[in-house]
Amino acid sequence: MQDQLIGLGVETFKLALYLALPTLLVGMFAGLAVSIFQATTQINEMTLSFIPKIIAIIIVIIFTMPWMLNLTIEFTERMINLIPSFVQ
């Protein structure tokens, strides 16, 4: 019983990482690209770094939403099917 719960916790953290990873990576690379652009052109506008990151993250969320939704639905179905084994 405890092994199942620990495995469930590990699987939950893995799912959270898989769902967050694409947006975090794109945000990081977009921020890096904007930083390099600002350093080379010496434009130090604070709002310049936010808009490209937001646009890039929105685009990634739009393209990865079906995949994210499928992962979440599969995980939820597995959890619902595991309920009887925890109620014993």
pTM to 2 decimals?
0.79
Q: What is the pLDDT along the chain (88 residues), one digit of tens a residue?
A: 788 889 889 999 999 999 999 999 999 999 999 989 888 988 877 777 888 899 999 999 999 999 999 999 999 999 999 888 877 6
Question: DSSP character for 42?
Answer: T
3-state secondary structure of 88: coil
For the chain, the domains span: 2-81
Nearest CA among 15, 9, 19, 17 for reference residue 75? 15
